[in-house]
Structures are given as C-alpha cells and as structure tokens.
Structure 1
Amino acid sequence: MADAMLPTFVQKPTGPAKLEVPAVSPDREIPIRPTRKQVSRACDWCRARRIKCDNGRPCRACRQRGADCTHKGTNEPRTLPMALKEIEKLRARVQELQAELDAYKSREHQSVPTPSETSIATSPSSTRDQRGSQNGHSSTQASSPSPSVVSKPQWDGIFIATSRSDQTSYYGPSSHFYFVSRIGAYLNKALQQPCAPRSMQPKEARRNAALTNPNEAEEREIQSNQVVGGLSPSPTMTRTQEEYFLSLFWESYHCLMPVIDEVEFRRHYASLWEPSKPHRKNSPLVDIVLAICLQYGYSFISRDAAPDHRDPSSDDATMAGRWYYRRGQSLLAADFESPTITTVQCLIFSMCYLCCASFQNMAHITVAQAVRTAQILGLHLEPPADMPLADRELRKRIWWILSATESKVTAKLGRFGFVDRSQVTVTQPSDDIETASANGATLGSYGNVTWLTYNLQMQKLSHVSFDIHQPLYAKFGEALERSGTNSLYKDSQALESCAEFLAVRLPALKAWADQLPSSIKSPRRQGGEPFAIDRTPLDIDPLAPTWLQRQRICLELLYHSQFTNLCRPFITFYSNASTYTPIAERHAAACVHHAIAHTLIMHQVVTETDFMCGWSEFFFWQWNAAISIVGFVLAYPIHSSTSNARKALDKAVAVFDVFGANFSVAADAADIIRDLTSKADQLAGRLRSGIMAPPGATPEQQQQPAECPAAVNGGAYVTNTNGDDDGLAWLDPSEQNDPNYFSEFMDWAMSVDQFNNFEHFFNSNNPTNAFQFGQ
C-alpha cells in the first residue's frame, strides 16, 4: 500500500511548485551557478542611465556604443572586500600614530632628544638671523624656514674667512677656533686699550704651501721634471732612497692605522721596479705612503746636509712629499668610478697628509669621500664568511678606523658627521695573536697585547667620546632654546644644567681606561697611575718594542685630549655674582688638569725620547692643550689649579721650541703662547695690586686695575649687573669688522692651524702683516 501511495505523494507536493526538486540521475553532475561579479563603481554613462556596468575599462556597454568610458568618481570602497581592506589599513595607521605619540611623550621627560626626534622647535630667531647674515642671506630668509623643514636647536659656531678668498668656513662650538675667539673677545674687553701693532711674519716655508696651485718657484721646478698627465711632476728619488723612507712607515703610521697588508704592500712595491728602468711604475698607494713618510721623516734630516740650491722654504717638514701627494691624487682620480680597497687606503693616507699639512677643510672633505667610497664597497657590512681571515679583518679595520677618524674630525671642527650608525652591521676587528700574525705580519705581540690592540682600543675611545659629545651638544642647543639667547654664557643656570648632564656621562671615559690591558698602559714613576692627572712622570720601558711605546703614548694623549675637549665649554670668562655653578667649575678644572697632563707627557717624551719627533699631528694636539690652559689661566686667575697651569705653559713653550726646529708653525705657536702668557700675568698682576693696594689708593697707584673687570667670583671675572654683556659680542658680524677687535685676533690665531694658506701675509712689505694685538 505504501508503494501505491508514493506516486500520489510526489504528484501532489505540499509546497509551491517552484520548490519542486526533480529527480537527478546519479551519473549526472549538478551545474554550479558562477558567483556574480561585484562592480565597485559604474562608469559615468552607466550610472547616469542606471544600467548594468562591469569592471572593464572601457566597460562592455561603452564598447558597444563606441563611446569613451569615463570615471570621475572618487576611489572610496564600494564593495565589502574593499571596505575591509580599508578598515585594516586605518587600524594599522592608528596604531602607528599611537606608538609615535607614546614615544614623543616619553621623550618629553628625558633631557636629551633622541636622534629620531624631528618635531623640535628651531633655534632662537636671533641665532638664525646671525647665521643668515653670515652667509649673505637676509634675516627674514634665515628666520622663516619652510614649514616642512624643522631643525633641532643647536649652539651656533663661527664663520671665518679662509686666506685664499673671502668665502667663510664654519667652525662649531667644540672647535678650538671657537675657544680662541672667546679668548680674543675677552682680552679685547679686559685690556680696554688700543692694541699696539705687532708683526706676525710667517716663516718662509709657507711660500710653497699650495697643494693644487703651485707658485712661480714651483712652476719652474715642475718644468724641470717629468710631468704625469700634464698635472703633477715626477719625483726622482732612487729605490734606495724610497725604501729608506718606507722603512719608517711600519713603526709609525702602520702601527697606529693598520689599513694595509704589510706583506701585500711589500710585494706590490717590488713589482713596480724593472731592472732596465731607473724609476718605478706609477702607483697611487705607494706615492701617498711615501708622501706621509717624507712628511714624518724629513725632520730627521739635518738642515746642514741640504743642497745649496734648495729652496729655503722647503726646509719645513709639513710640506715635504708634496710632489708624491700631487702625483698620487692625479693617479687616484681615475679610480673613483670603479673604486677598490686601494682607493679607500689612498684616501685615508691622503687625509693624514692634509691634516698634518694644516689643510683642515681639505682633510674633512677627504674623510667624507673615504667614507662614501667605503660604503660603495660595502665595508660597513659584515664581510662574507668564506673570505680569508686576513681579508675579513682588514676590511673591518678599514671601516672602523674611518668611523673613528670621522668622529674625531667632526668633533675637532665642530661640524656634523656623515656616518649613520644604524646602517652599520660590521663587527669590530680582532686583536688576537692569529689576526696579528696573519700573512706574516712582523710587528707581533708583547705581554698580553698585540700590535693591533691599540687600534681596537682607540676605536672604542673614539666612539665613547662620540656618544658623549653628540648628546652633550644637543643639550647645549636645548638650553639655548629655553633661555632664548644666542650665548650659553648669558644663562648660568642653563650652563649648570648642561654641566650636570655631562657629569653623568663622563664616567664612561674613565670606565674605558679601567678596562685597558695592562701592557698597553704607560707605567708611572713614584707610584703614579696611568691615565691619571697626578702629574707623575712616565716610566719608559727601554725593553718594550718601539711600536708599543709609541702606541702607549698616543693612546694616553688621545684620552687627555678627548677629556679636555669635552670639558672646555665650561671655562667661563664672565659670571654672575648671584649665581653659583659648582659643577661647571669642576668641569673647567678637569679640563685644565687633563690639558696639563697632556703637556707634561709631551714635554717628557720630546725631551727624553724621539718617539714623537717629526709628528706634526701631535704638535696640533699640544696646541689644543696649550690654548685650553691659557684660557683657564685667563678666566680663573684665583684658583687652586692656576699655579700648576701657569707652570705647564712654560712646558708647552718648550715643546713648541723642540717642534719649531722642523715646523715653522711650531715656532710661531711658541711666540703666541708666550704673548698670551704675558697678558695673563699682566691681568693677574692688576688683580693682585688691586687686592693689596691700601684703601683710598688711586687707580694709578693700583696700576689701573679698573681696566680689568671690577670683581671676582670663584676666580672668574664678573660681568655687569644687568647681564647683557657676556664678552661674546664677536657673534655680531658688525663687531667682526672692527680692525681692533675680533677679526684681527682670529687671523692671528688661525696662523697656527691654517698657516699654510696665508700666502698674502708672506710679503714683508705687505701692511697687513703688521696687525694689532694688546701688549
């Protein structure tokens, strides 16, 4: 019965007819209807007529009618998938903005902005106006930067015209140029009298200063020699003479800057000589190495042995080897499009030559060129693991030496660096026995150090100093912005806050000294400690190899120089009687203590040994220390450290006299320090006579002490009560045009560090040779 009723049930369904499901054969597949394609937005023609449109461009309807398919609507999402994607994008953006906001709030509680912080207000308008006027732009342009360009506040430096043209060069507040300018401004104010004429006759060696534009005497010498490419003369030293100077390289520059492979260089040099030819083949690397060796070793040659026809100006060692330098640069120019490791090596040694020859701007440019070339070669990246050990370590040493050199040069000149540390992945080089003896290196090891230990420790010191220097000067800029002035010395509280900031970070330098291996430290007599400021003499070990003794001295001198430079901004020539800045004064004392330690070491080394003979670079280190001591003696005539500082100046003059036998600039430096010392004694004498004079004594009876500032606070002269004069009026360009003010003093001071560029001072009949300075 059920079977009979089944057809009736199928023929009379209870639901609607359209829901009837026909029977399907098991062998037949059910067709699947395709998913309808969603259209995000119809074209303009289809939308206007409200007809169906596909996603084609042009769409099917427009193709059929033969018309243009236009779409003027916006790109807002019109489908669910597009809307979901847009929501996810907006959520991610909100998270990014929230993270940036949280980071910005956290940095507001810190004293120094991080490198990624870019939304900080610019420097005070007065400072920007001054920078703009120095560069020849109007104050309106300088004080109205583009809204899209926001700079960090900074402590502005000074602009000084070079000797070759009226174009100015910028030197930042960390440079000794800036500090010398402060000394000059203070002396002009403290003496309060017209400066008497004083002849500054540069020595005759400065006549042949140019490295790129030789004078008439050099043109005659060029014509008498072979010319390479019409640019540079061909030096005529024999192989024996060249090898003599090259033998000086290994325990001098090589042990301090190991950027070449000793065995490979010797092999390369031997391959340049052919038995049938009197001169070797050209090589830019050999030429620049010979140039620095001549510059270093020329001081060992007696002047009595010089030929009679020789130009007297060539007796100065700083310009020795200039022919090799010029020819090396001519040969090197062809390699810049396809540089090699040799290109970077040549640039490093070129920088050394220029620095010692006192071409500071050219040296700075060469360092930047070397860094960029090293980046082209990928030296900032970790070398491949399948590369030989010696090659891997050489690449690492080249990069880290460049990085350390860049840090020192930028701090010395007060300019911005150009190495982005966040992009550097190469690890520091090794100084173990295996690396030090790779490829048959001959210098070897001593005690618990190798000849590569100095290089590694020097890099660490440079980077520790850089990590202090950068945030410190960012702090200076913030303090200037808050005070609204262009001089840090107008706000004693701001200066003290910066001193507190430095005090927290200086222990990193001492921690670096504490971790040094014992064999790299110079022992002391009388129980003194290495790297200390107790003024105990060195205990020079006669059994230690020459390279190690030189490395010990250089490392300690560099340590004292870094300490001096970091603390020098806190030497203040004017202070407010109502403000006490104990931390800043301690930094000033630390600056002079390290400068004294540097001077005593140099004096002992140059008088008892020949380790530093011929090193013009170390003369410039000593000049930096001496000018720091002079500034302290002038600023703090009554201080517990003033007596030792005054004695150290006599030692500094003795060091300059030793260097002056071969470097004419050193003889000038000795005269400059003597003159500044006499003025410091003069001002101290006025102060002493003013204190010891009986009540009611006339100014004449007190030797006119009123010409000094009126009072003393903590050893520093006090400015007037309204605090509007800090002795830094030289920041005003109008003051720099005063012939009795800052400009002439800076010409006088720059004759030490840029002496080779002052050709227009060489003529004794030139009236500009005699310029005024207070007696």
Structure 2
Amino acid sequence: MYSPIRSPEAPGPEVEGRRGEGVGKSETSNPSSFEAPLRPKRQQVARACDSEIDRLKQKVRELEGQLEKERTKSSLVSTSIPPQPLALTPPSSDSTPTPDSVGVSHNVVGSQTVWGGVMTSTGQSSRKTWYGPSSLFYFINRMNTYLSAIFQQLHPDDLIQLKSVAKTFATPDCNLAEDDDKADVKDASQTVSNEAYLTPTQEEYFLNLYWQSYHPTLAILDETEFKRHYRSLATKPGQPRKPSPLADIVIAVGMQVGMAAAQRNSSRALPATEVGKDDPSIAGRLYYRRCQRLLYNEQEAPTLMTVQCHILSGMYTCFAAFQNMCHIALSLAARSAHTIGLHVEPPSDLPIATKELHRRVWWTLYAFESKVCMKLGRPFYTDADPTSCELLAHDHEVASLAGSDFARLDEHATWLTYSLYQATLAQAARRVHTAFYDRYSDFYSGTTGQVIYDDPAALEQYAEFLSTIMKPLDDWAKSVPDALKMKRSGDGRSFSTDRSPIVVEQFVPLWLQRQRLLLELIYHVMKSNLYRPFICFPSTVTESPPLGHTCLSHAASAAEHCITLTQIFHHIVTNTDLLVGWHEAFQWQWNCALTLAGYLFACPTSDIAPSVRESIDLSIVVFEDFGRSFGTSLSAATLIRDLAIKIDFLAEIVRGSNPQTATPPSAQDAATDQFATEVELVPSANDVPFTQDLFTGSMDMSMAYSVDNSGDLDMLWPPIGNAGDQWWVYTQPPGPSGFGGGFPG
C-alpha cells in the first residue's frame, strides 16, 4: 500500500500543535483582609437552625414513605415469584431467570412488546448511552451477565471495552470530561496558530492518500471539482490557504490513514498502553475541529458540500472509535440532505454529472447511516424504502464524467459499480433487520420471564421467522458481478462460508482489490450480526437450555460468518498492506472476535467449536498486526487473550462433567499446540468450587438481582491479565501466534 517516509519536515502527530497556555484559567485574587466577619445575632442563628431542622425532618418523612412503598412492591413481587439465585446447578423452576434475562429486558409500548436495549458507558465519560439489541454492546452485556453468574464475580461491561482514544478523551480534540467547564473547550471560535497546520506540500501528500484509499469506496466527491476548489483557496505564496470545511475534513481523513502507515513503518515500537494524543486515529484533529466550526455557520442554509462534510466527519469519528459522535454526524448529514432535497430525484435541468453526484452522495449516506444504525441498534434517519431518488448509475459514460480516471473493469462494470452494490447491500440488510426486529412482539408477549431468551419455544419460532426473511441478502450475493468478487481457491465460492482460501490477484489495481475485499467483509459482518441474537447462554456451566434446532443453527451461522471473516483478515494482513490504516476494518474484526468468544461460552461442545477456537487465535494475530499502526488494536489482542483463557477453562469444566464429550488424553496432548493450553493441569469441575477459594473477593450473586443492569455495577472483576497466578492453576506454552506464555501485562 503506502510507505510514507517521514523527512525532517514531514508531518508527525506532533504537527497538531499545542493549546495556548493560560487559556481558560480562572482568575483568583487574594483576600484583602484576614479579619473574621462579624458574627450574626445568636437569635437569627437559632431561628435558621430550627427552620433547617424542620425541613430535614419533612424530607426524612418523605423518604421513609417512599421506602415503605418500595418494600410493599417488593413484598407483592416476592409472593408471586420467589427470588432464586443464579446457581451452578440446574434450575428447579421454569421461572428461574437465565443469565440472558439479567440486565436486558423488554419494554411494553401500548399493546406491543418491544425488545429493549442496554444503557452502558462506552466513552471517557461515565455517562451511559443506549444501545439496541442488534448492537455489540447488548451482546457484551449478555455475555458479561453469564460470566458473572458462572464465576460468581461481577463482570461489568466496561471490562470488555477497548482502550481507545474515545475511552481516553471526551472528543477527538483530546479534551477530558473534567475539562467541560473550561473556557478553551467551550469557545469554539478559539484560533489555532497557522504553524500548527500543515504546509501546502504536506497537505497535498495527504490529499493524494485520500484519492488512493477512501475515494474509490466512498464516491461522494468529484475529484476534478474538488481540486479546482482547493486551488481557489490559495493566497499569496508562503501564506496559509483560506479555510474550507471540505478541504479540512478530507485532509483529516487522509491523515488518519497516512499516519497509521507511518507508524507501522516506524522503527519505534508502540506500547500497548500508548493510546494518547499521538494516536494515528486522531491525526488531523485540528483540521477536523476547524471543519466543525465552519459547518456551524451552514446549518440554516446547507449545501451539497455541507452534506459531504458531515459524511466525512462521520467517517473520521467512526475511525477514531467515537461511535456516538459518528452517529450524530450522520444524523446531521441526513437532515441536511433532506433540507436540500437529495432524497428525491435531482432537478431535470441539472447536468447529468451533477445529477449522478447527487444520487451517489444520497445512496452513500444511506448505506453508511444504515450500517451504523444497525451496528448500534438505533433508529434510522435516512428514508426507508421506497425512496423517490433512483439508484445511482454506474455505466461507462457516467464513470467518465465522475471526475476520476480509473481503468474500466469490463463491459458492464466500472469503478462506480462498487457504490451501487454497497447501496443495494445496505438496502437488503436493512430490509431484513427491520422486518426481524419489528416482529418481536409477534413471537414474545412478555408473559414468560423478562426477555425472549426465557421462552425457548418463542425463541425457536422467532428463529424460524428469520430464516424466511433472509432471501434479500442471499439474492444480493448472487447478483454481484464477477468483477467485484474476491476470488477463492479451488471450487470455493465468494460470499460463502465454505472456508475456502481467498486469492488476491497480483496484477490488479489496489483500489479494485480493496473494493472486492470490503464488499465481502461487510457482507459477512451484516449476516453475522443478524444471526448473533440466537447465541444463547446456558443457565448453568454444565447444562444448556432446551434450544430448538433452528436457533442452534443460526448461532452456528453467526460463528461461521465470523470464522470466514477472520480467515480473510488473517490472509490479508499477513500477505498484503490493503488494510493498513483502515480503522473500521479493525472494528469489524473486533466485533467478530467477541461473537466467536460468546459462541464458545454458549456452545463449548458444538461440532464447530474447535474451528471457532482456532479462529480466536487467528484474530489475535490480526490484532497484533493492526497494533503496529495504532495501540487500540493491541488492547484488543490483550482482551481476547483473557477471554480465551476463560473459554479454555470453562471448556475443560464442561468436558470434565460430561465424560462422553471428554477428549482422550492422547488427543488432548495433540491439541495442545492448536489451542495453546496444557489441559492436564486444568482442574476438573469436582476439584474447583466456585467460591472465594478460587476467585478472591467473590460475593453472593443474589446481589445481582438488586441491579437492573449489569452495566450499573460498581464492583469490578479484575481482568485475568492483571490477576495473580493464584487465580488460575494452569500455565500456557507459547503458541505460534504469540498466545500463551503467561499472562499479558
């Protein structure tokens, strides 16, 4: 891909500059005198104290009344449904809540039962935000509740969250949450010295990176028109150009990929703990900030450029892992697009090139916003089908007018064909997603348990329903032209889970290789996310709930798509530079790695469990490779290693409690290298009571029932990577992927 060499004047992360010292500091003054103030009359003090005592007594009476009401409610609930602790023995009653029903529930709106979400903190601030049932955070919440139950240790959601810049800073500007009341943060008009920005030569370097990398997969700009606009910003030689929100955000996105490539090629190792101001994912933050300041003035009269800037701002914040900021940026893009009429057919008097640019911007926004909303489990802002804006054209005439010069693919495909199939993939996935979640109340009424996972019969019917509505995605995969398909070896098929190795053609332009790769990766992510709700965690360590065949099949399908995605990632990062600096692709691998881990917790003895376990090791290799570019990925590798230890430990407990599934000693020895585990040192279920003897500081799990959401728990279960050796009584030999050899630091 790119191998930027940093010359003495080349921009580094330090090019962002520093904030002006002394800005926003509160002024203080010394008291003019240390003399004690005159004492008020004692009679006034007594009267004031009497009033305060009366007020506090009244407040106590009110609180006691509220407490009595809560006790009455609890008494009524306890007489109808006796509370039962989460135990490691089979439940004695069908009404016993399962781990899946703790912390997640449904909402009743009118006569309909709506699948509820989860409130959890995912950023630097402790404030919680909402994520729906299709989100990874909802799945993490379910998985953590299960781990809390079986280990009898509270396992809050933030224990499985990445060490990203979004967890370090409140904004890409590197502001801290406690800085909210400082003047320099609130003052959006604060100027930054010109020396903090790049020189014209350096800006051109990162602009060229943008055209080589993101432009072919995000065709929302006319390259020729943009370059004309950029030249118009020039002033006198040696003077900085005039500000432009579009030029600024394009440079900012180019710097994200460029500085990641520079970090990868640097001889300086990136420590796992280094996720700070120099992180490549927030390179260009001064340009991003200036773009946002300029966009503020365009809210009342937005233009096409305004929409383009909001889309690119969504990209920038997504790549930096500020997911809520990304979601908000896309909502602004959607509302601005509605304001200028991009969601309807362009006016007939516009030139064909302008009409098609309008369509490309709208459908690219539709695809991007749909993907983010499904990922977060939140409502859509772009119009649902049907829309009066026709799908974008991709013929050779339109491609020749689009402002970029790319080679023709074949008679029917051009560089714009990717944009069309990206949009139709989003259409198909969104159609399935909407139909699936809108029909929740048709299958689960809320009378059994707290969530559909408490009703296996309803869950199986819901799974069967999903099978009937997946056709749009299957039809889409069949419709993709050969020019956009990633080749497979032998008889392997593209967009399948047959696990056939991919083939990256050698003499194919990088932009086309990346288009093929991204199209297949997005497809597997979307299908995996649709199947993931059927990964159901058992009520106990050794017993699974009575799940139906279709439910189990969908859970396996989610894992199969993640296996395929991980194998593709592993091949790409170990053989090419196609995804260097591609931060969103890293997020897809993280999503799939956690899905694979959850599947093994839920189905440790399934037929595909060995392949899933092997894919988890492959994902660690992928994270280590991405970690050469930015520290967040090294955090992901550490977290997945910790989960792998727990997976192996629980798998041995399950095998120890079920002799029929136990692996013979000889086979166990042969599997040691594959799974990086010395199973003979793992204690059996009979030897390991889940008490304070194994998990120091454990607590009675009945306390969990006093909390509505496991994300609200204040007690932390220390991650295994930070625990002492006495927590675990087995060791790991170093594996081929670096997995093993003790606990990560």
Same fold (TM over 0.5): yes
Q: 1:650 aligns with which of 592, 606, 617?
A: 617
Shift of the alpha carbon at 1:506?
1.7
Structure 1 Cα separation of the partners of residues 161 and 112 of structure 2: 41
Shift of the alpha carbon at 1:445?
2.0
Corresponding residue number in structure 2 for 1:211: 172
Indicate if the aligned counterparts of 1:730 and 1:736 stay in contact, CA closer than 8 A.
no
Shift of the alpha carbon at 1:408?
1.0
Corresponding residue number in structure 2 for 1:251: 212
Indicate if the aligned counterparts of 1:204 and 1:312 stay in contact, CA closer than 8 A.
yes
1:264-283 counterparts in 2 under 5 A?
A: 264-283=225-244
Indicate if the aligned counterparts of 1:153 and 1:474 stay in contact, CA closer than 8 A.
no
Amino acid paired to 1:176: L
Shift of the alpha carbon at 1:385?
2.2
Aligned residues: 580
Is residue 2:453 matched to residue 1:453?
Answer: no
| Larger CA deviation: 265-274 vs 227-236 | 227-236
Corresponding residue number in structure 2 for 1:487: 451
Corresponding residue number in structure 2 for 1:733: 708
Indicate if the aligned counterparts of 2:164 and 2:321 stay in contact, CA closer than 8 A.
no
Q: 1:633 aligns with which of 600, 619, 631?
A: 600
Structure 1 unaligned runs (5+)?
A: 1-125, 710-725, 749-772
Structure 1 Cα separation of the partners of residues 710 and 503 of structure 2: 50
Shift of the alpha carbon at 1:737?
4.6
Structure 2 Cα separation of the partners of residues 151 and 367 of structure 1: 32
Shift of the alpha carbon at 1:479?
2.4
Corresponding residue number in structure 2 for 1:704: 686
Corresponding residue number in structure 1 for 2:656: 689
Corresponding residue number in structure 1 for 2:535: 571
| SS at 2:287 equivalent | helix
1:66-91 per-position Cα deviation (integer Å, ceiling 9, x unaligned): xxxxxxxxxxxxxxxxxxxxxxxxxx
Amino acid paired to 1:334: N
Shift of the alpha carbon at 1:168?
2.1
Structure index of larger Rg: 1
Corresponding residue number in structure 1 for 2:315: 352
C-alpha RMSD over aligned residues: 3.9
Structure 1 Cα separation of the partners of residues 449 and 472 of structure 2: 31
Corresponding residue number in structure 2 for 1:752: none
Indicate if the aligned counterparts of 1:429 and 1:456 stay in contact, CA closer than 8 A.
yes
Amino acid paired to 1:401: T
Shift of the alpha carbon at 1:539?
1.1
Q: 1:527 aligns with which of 480, 491, 503?
A: 491
Corresponding residue number in structure 2 for 1:158: 118
Change in CA separation of 1:556 and 1:193 when aligned onto 2, cut-off 3 Å = same
Structure 1 Cα separation of the partners of residues 115 and 256 of structure 2: 37
Structure 2 Cα separation of the partners of residues 542 and 215 of structure 1: 46
Is residue 2:619 matched to residue 1:619?
Answer: no
Indicate if the aligned counterparts of 1:437 and 1:444 stay in contact, CA closer than 8 A.
no
Corresponding residue number in structure 2 for 1:327: 290
Change in CA separation of 1:151 and 1:289 when aligned onto 2, cut-off 3 Å = farther
1:257-406 counterparts in 2 under 5 A?
A: 257-302=218-263, 304=266, 313-406=276-369
Corresponding residue number in structure 2 for 1:106: none
Shift of the alpha carbon at 1:486?
2.6
Amino acid paired to 1:249: Y
Shift of the alpha carbon at 1:612?
0.4
Is residue 2:515 matched to residue 1:539?
Answer: no
Q: 1:432 aligns with which of 376, 380, 395?
A: 395
1:176-213 per-position Cα deviation (integer Å, ceiling 9, x unaligned): 00111111111121223588999999589975663357
Indicate if the aligned counterparts of 1:205 and 1:313 stay in contact, CA closer than 8 A.
no
Is residue 2:558 matched to residue 1:588?
Answer: no
Change in CA separation of 1:443 and 1:705 when aligned onto 2, cut-off 3 Å = farther
> Given the two structures, how large is their TM-score scaled by the length of structure 1?
0.68
Amino acid paired to 2:235: E
Structure 2 Cα separation of the partners of residues 581 and 693 of structure 1: 22
1:466-517 per-position Cα deviation (integer Å, ceiling 9, x unaligned): 1101111122233232545431110001100111101112232121111111
Change in CA separation of 1:360 and 1:205 when aligned onto 2, cut-off 3 Å = closer
| SS at 1:530 equivalent | coil
| Larger CA deviation: 156-165 vs 566-575 | 156-165
1:31-46 counterparts in 2 under 5 A?
A: none
| SS at 2:130 equivalent | strand
Structure 1 Cα separation of the partners of residues 382 and 351 of structure 2: 27
Indicate if the aligned counterparts of 1:209 and 1:319 stay in contact, CA closer than 8 A.
no
Shift of the alpha carbon at 1:217?
14
Amino acid paired to 1:478: D
Change in CA separation of 1:203 and 1:470 when aligned onto 2, cut-off 3 Å = closer
| Larger CA deviation: 588-597 vs 658-667 | 658-667
Amino acid paired to 1:702: S
Amino acid paired to 1:599: T
> Given the two structures, how large is their TM-score scaled by the length of structure 2?
0.71
Change in CA separation of 1:502 and 1:289 when aligned onto 2, cut-off 3 Å = same
Indicate if the aligned counterparts of 1:191 and 1:707 stay in contact, CA closer than 8 A.
no
Shift of the alpha carbon at 1:618?
0.5
Q: 1:417 aligns with which of 361, 365, 380?
A: 380
Amino acid paired to 1:373: S
Indicate if the aligned counterparts of 2:124 and 2:176 stay in contact, CA closer than 8 A.
no
Corresponding residue number in structure 1 for 2:34: none
Structure 1 Cα separation of the partners of residues 224 and 618 of structure 2: 41
Amino acid paired to 1:733: D
Structure 2 Cα separation of the partners of residues 552 and 594 of structure 1: 17
Q: 1:609 aligns with which of 559, 576, 601?
A: 576
Amino acid paired to 1:499: A
Indicate if the aligned counterparts of 2:319 and 2:583 stay in contact, CA closer than 8 A.
yes
| Larger CA deviation: 413-422 vs 500-509 | 413-422
1:33-182 counterparts in 2 under 5 A?
A: 150=110, 152-161=112-121, 163-182=123-142
Shift of the alpha carbon at 1:305?
7.8
Amino acid paired to 2:253: I
Corresponding residue number in structure 1 for 2:460: 496
1:291-335 per-position Cα deviation (integer Å, ceiling 9, x unaligned): 0110111112147589xxxx9934311111101100111111111
Structure 2 Cα separation of the partners of residues 728 and 533 of structure 1: 43
Indicate if the aligned counterparts of 2:120 and 2:711 stay in contact, CA closer than 8 A.
no
Change in CA separation of 1:337 and 1:668 when aligned onto 2, cut-off 3 Å = same
Shift of the alpha carbon at 1:253?
1.4
Structure 2 unaligned runs (5+)?
A: 1-96, 269-273, 663-681, 692-700, 723-742
Shift of the alpha carbon at 1:418?
2.4
1:577-635 per-position Cα deviation (integer Å, ceiling 9, x unaligned): 78450011111111100000000111111110001010111000110111110011111
Change in CA separation of 1:166 and 1:441 when aligned onto 2, cut-off 3 Å = closer
Change in CA separation of 1:621 and 1:202 when aligned onto 2, cut-off 3 Å = closer
Amino acid paired to 1:245: F
Is residue 2:530 matched to residue 1:555?
Answer: no
Indicate if the aligned counterparts of 1:232 and 1:327 stay in contact, CA closer than 8 A.
no
1:208-241 per-position Cα deviation (integer Å, ceiling 9, x unaligned): 663357369999xx99xxx994255544311111
Structure 2 Cα separation of the partners of residues 628 and 305 of structure 1: 34
1:270-290 per-position Cα deviation (integer Å, ceiling 9, x unaligned): 221234333211111000000
Change in CA separation of 1:252 and 1:345 when aligned onto 2, cut-off 3 Å = same
| SS at 1:342 equivalent | helix
Indicate if the aligned counterparts of 2:256 and 2:282 stay in contact, CA closer than 8 A.
yes
Structure 2 Cα separation of the partners of residues 737 and 192 of structure 1: 17
Shift of the alpha carbon at 1:166?
4.5
Is residue 2:122 matched to residue 1:183?
Answer: no
Structure 2 Cα separation of the partners of residues 516 and 504 of structure 1: 22
| Larger CA deviation: 177-186 vs 438-447 | 438-447
Shift of the alpha carbon at 1:374?
0.4
1:56-107 per-position Cα deviation (integer Å, ceiling 9, x unaligned): xxxxxxxxxxxxxxxxxxxxxxxxxxxxxxxxxxxxxxxxxxxxxxxxxxxx
Corresponding residue number in structure 1 for 2:197: 236
Structure 1 Cα separation of the partners of residues 207 and 654 of structure 2: 55
Structure 1 Cα separation of the partners of residues 637 and 142 of structure 2: 20
Percent identical across equivalent pairs? 36
